Amino acid sequence: MPLTRDGDPIGELVPGWTPPPRPERASIVGRYCRLEPLDPQAHARELWEANALDATGRNWTYLGSEPFKTFEEYQAWLAKMAAGIDPFFYALLIPDGDAYRAAGVASYLRIAPEAGSIEVGHINFSPLLQRTRAATEAMYLMMRYAFDLGYRRYEWKCDALNAPSRNAAQRFGFSYEGVFRQALVYKGRNRDTAWYAMIDKEWLRLRAAYEKWLDPSNFDAEGRQRVALKRLTSPILVARG
């Protein structure tokens, strides 16, 4: 660890550091899915129909808003989200015959180029996307793009009571960093926020894990995985919780 002349410990140098650019409004194409900057005109109806398959509205329990009562309300909300640069929303598209259809959303947020930090959040996988290779690949494509831009830190935060999100974060390769107590009030209730992150020093190993898992050879004729992603990412985690 570096020390000052007086013996005080200081952080290691970051040679040649230049703040990375913000994400551009461009599509990202993978093997199993396609990410497009959110466009209410193009995506709202398909997203509305995909979300309607969540009959109980459980997907919205830990999101910042409740299920929308009408398509018009939902489209207006999408328009507001699509107009911003932070958060920066993508529609997550899955193959549908010879085309693609929107089946979920996710965003970059708390984009801080000067710190080299960026977060993924506002994730809403409709039932069409849940537990699919496309869902996992969408997360991989977003983290790959962030690290390719030059970000050093990629964050995931969620309600500390949201067990599925906490499990997903660690499956995706985010290490646990702790809980911020009484971090937010949303929907009239308290939120303690669990923090997870991955950093550039871990990215090469995580990228290799994803590429191994996403390879078609990792799935049998019935589409069942041969090696679980969690098995590949778990050794890379520096803390769990």
Structural domain total, the chain: 1
Average pLDDT over residues 151-156: 98
The band of 5, judged by pLDDT with boundaries at 50, 70 and 90, is confident
Domain span at residue 60? Answer: 28-236
In a domain, 120, yes or no: yes
Question: Could you tell me how many helices (H) and strands (E) the chain has, helices first?
Answer: 6, 8
pLDDT in tens, 221-239: 999 999 999 999 999 999 9
Query: Cα(first)–Cα(last) distance of the chain, in Å?
Result: 27
pLDDT in tens, 162-178: 999 999 999 999 999 99
| DSSP reduced 3-state for 187 | coil
- Per-residue DSSP letter, 27: -
In a domain, 60, yes or no: yes
In a domain, 212, yes or no: yes
In a domain, 2, yes or no: no
Share of the chain above pLDDT 90, in %: 92
* CB contact burial 125-140 (16+ within 10 A = b; e otherwise): bbbbbeebbbbbbbbb
Q: Supply the mean pLDDT for the chain.
A: 96
Instruction: Tell me the C-alpha distance between 162 and 123, whole Å.
Output: 13
Using alpha carbons, list the distances in angstroms from residue 162 to 81, 95, 219.
Answer: 23, 29, 29
pLDDT in tens, 181-190: 999 999 999 9
In a domain, 15, yes or no: no
Kindly report the pTM of this predicted structure: 0.95
In a domain, 10, yes or no: no
The band of 25, judged by pLDDT with boundaries at 50, 70 and 90, is very high
Count of C-beta atoms within a 10 Å radius of residue 85: 10
Instruction: Tell me the C-alpha distance between 143 and 210, whole Å.
Output: 11
User: What is the CATH number for 87?
Assistant: 3.40.630.30
In a domain, 100, yes or no: yes
pLDDT in tens, 57-110: 999 999 999 999 999 999 999 999 999 999 999 999 999 999 999 999 999 999
| Residues paired with 36 in a beta bridge | 91
Q: What is the pLDDT of residue 3?
A: 72
pLDDT value at 214 more than 80: yes
Q: Using only C-alpha atoms, what is the Rg of the chain? A: 19
In a domain, 183, yes or no: yes
Q: What is the pLDDT of residue 161?
A: 98
